[in-house]
Amino acid sequence: MKRIILAMFVICFSILCIGCNSREKNYNQKDELMEEDNQNIEDIFNENDTKSQTIAQFGFGFISENFSEREVYEYNGKEVCIPYYVEGMEEKVKADFGLMFFVDGIPQPYRIRRKNGTVTEEQFMHKFSLGYNEREEFDVVFTPVAGKKGDRIGVISATILKPDFIPEDENRPVYGVYHSLAANKPSEIYFKSEFVNEKELRGYSKYVLEDIPEELKSNVGSEAKCIR
């Protein structure tokens, strides 16, 4: 009888030990899985950090003593002269962009007059390639394309990112963020005298009509064409 009781005690004790060992193994497996999951999550974030990159960072705008107020420039029969600046702000990547101006919503051809006295040719867009902390200050000079005496019309500047970028696949062009437009707060031109512009304004006639890729149209939800 004593032997039977002893045998039962040994069996019960063995079962308890096996249960504790299995629980410990389960806990260890759970800990290993949690550590593996945490490592995978960390790897994903590290991978995303590695893949993400800055395309360009730059500043641009009207030079003004009081940026909180809207700057007003006067047209008195002579060319409008607007102090302006551009600046690169990224250490590792050069900022490549084009600069345009719009007067009353119309693209405005302009010249750049630098501090050393040099003046560029008149163009609708001037291009810049600036390194980190590289800053240029100059005057934007033009005769307005619109307006008459007494008018107060807006003048706004805008940048185009990577204007020289051309997609590798011409059949299915994808631009991403390239050629995207960014603008700042508009200023104003006050016409003190009658507007005089002897130049004939003509629309830009060089363009290519292309179909937008299907994957882009699906995001928009409607058919469209793109002109560049």
Q: Is residue 207's pLDDT more than 60?
A: no
Tokens at 100, concatenated: 């345009």
Of these ranges, 1-10, 36-45, 120-129, 167-176, the one predicted with the greatest mean pLDDT is 120-129
Q: How many CB atoms lie within 10 A of CB 141?
A: 17
| Extended beta strands in 3-144, E state | 58-62, 72-75, 80-88, 95-103, 106-107, 111-114, 125-130, 135-142
Q: Is residue 212's pLDDT more than 90?
A: no
pTM of the model: 0.63
Write out pLDDT tens, residues 70-129: 889 999 999 999 999 999 998 888 899 999 999 999 999 999 999 999 999 999 999 999
Going from N- to C-terminal start, the domains of the chain cover 58-227
Region 58-227: CATH code:
2.60.40.2550
Tokens at 155, concatenated: 């003048």
pLDDT category at 222 given cuts 50, 70, 90 is: very low
Element (H, E) at 155: strand 152-161
- What is the Cα–Cα distance from 159 to 94, expressed in whole angstroms? 15
Backbone angles phi, psi at 97, to 5 degrees: -155, 160
164 contacts 127 by C-beta, under 8 angstroms: yes
